[in-house]
Amino acid sequence: MSIQRSTAGSNGAQAIDRAARLVALVVEADEPISFTDLAAETGLARSTTSRLLTALETNHLLERDASGAYLSGPLFALYAARHDPWSQVVRLAEPILQKVGVETGETVNLAVPRGDTVVQIAQVNSTYMLGARDWMQATVPPHCSALGKVLYAFDLLAVPEGPLEQLTDRSLATSAALAEEIVGIRRRGYAVAREELEIGLDAVAAPVHGRDGNVVAALGVSGPSARLGLQLDEIGQLLRENGSSLSQLLRRRMRKEGVA
């Protein structure tokens, strides 16, 4: 009997090791990995690989894309990267960013606060030759951007005191002016920036809510004033709707995984 228990324990440990190897291969990969490549890389029998992958998928450690290749599952996207959760949540948000990009043709960004700055964590590029720049590595004064204004309005950034940096003659000049604008943002549900960061550049942004209902990020569109200037309110409503859809997606995925 003792030999049987030892063997069972050894088999269990071996199965865990094999499953862990599969998870590591998928999570560390630069792109989704096919079943065939996983079986070849691990040297496991196809039947064993299939059984382990099914268990990992059932427990939301892995999932498959449209082609059937494996990528990290929602447990990683929503919980495993707790110190920087949005780096993984970007994957869940991407379809909505793509949808907004298709509907507007303009540059779409998802942003979160880091300290007293705004960090762009995802971008869908404009379909126009003349479009907004790549904002992923850019740092701009939050009061000059629609994304930053949303984060101010919903208390993710502390409103600065005193004079504000003016990048154009349309930039907000004082904390009092920013506080006044915040009132309108909360009422409308979206923020606008009209040539406040750069002449000829307009932007709109709306909040994204997390599990507890608090705002955790901002979804925005930016582009040339010549195209956006007359449709800022229309795009603002579009972003409100899609920000709400993204909020519901995040909450739904968390409920599905049984996290309170």
> Residue 6: its pLDDT value, please?
46
> Residue 32: its pLDDT value, please?
87
pLDDT in tens, 51-89: 999 999 998 889 888 889 998 876 665 554 444 556 667
Specify whether the CB–CB gap between 138 and 117 falls below 8 A.
no
Amino acid letter for position 237: Q
| Residue 124's pLDDT band (cuts 50, 70, 90) | very high
> Residue 72: its pLDDT value, please?
81
> Residue 9: its pLDDT value, please?
58
For residue 92, count other CB atoms closer than 10 A to its CB: 16
Higher pLDDT, 189 or 229: 189
At what angle are helices 35-42 and 2-28 packed, to 10 degrees?
A: 130
pLDDT in tens, 200-259: 999 999 999 987 788 989 999 999 999 998 999 999 999 999 999 999 887 776 555 544
CA pair distance 132, 141, nearest whole angstrom: 17
CA pair distance 142, 90, nearest whole angstrom: 21
Q: Return the ∠ at Cα 183 (arms to 247 and 110), rounded to 5°.
A: 35
| Cα distance from N-terminal residue to C-terminal residue, the chain | 42
In this structure, of 17-31, 87-101, 127-141, the range with the lowest mean pLDDT score is 127-141
| Residue 4's pLDDT band (cuts 50, 70, 90) | very low
Collect all residues with Cβ–Cβ distance below 8 Å to 95 and sequence separation of at least 6. Answer: none
> Residue 82: its pLDDT value, please?
45
Tell me the domains of the chain and their CATH numbers.
2-72 (1.10.10.10), 84-256 (3.30.450.40)
Average pLDDT of the residues of the chain: 85
pLDDT in tens, 159-171: 988 899 999 999 9
Amino acid letter for position 182: I
Specify whether the CB–CB gap between 72 and 59 falls below 8 A.
no
Specify whether the CB–CB gap between 156 and 147 falls below 8 A.
no
> How much of the chain exceeds pLDDT 90, in percent?
58
Q: Return the ∠ at Cα 219 (arms to 216 and 222), rounded to 5°.
A: 145
pTM, to two decimals: 0.66
pLDDT in tens, 85-103: 566 678 888 999 999 999 9
Say whether pLDDT at 137 is over 70: no
Q: What b-and-e string marks burial along 174-190, b requiring 16 or more CB atoms within 10 Å of the CB?
A: ebeebeebbeebeeebb
Say whether pLDDT at 11 is over 80: no
> Residue 190: its pLDDT value, please?
97
> Residue 51: its pLDDT value, please?
94
> Residue 260: its pLDDT value, please?
39
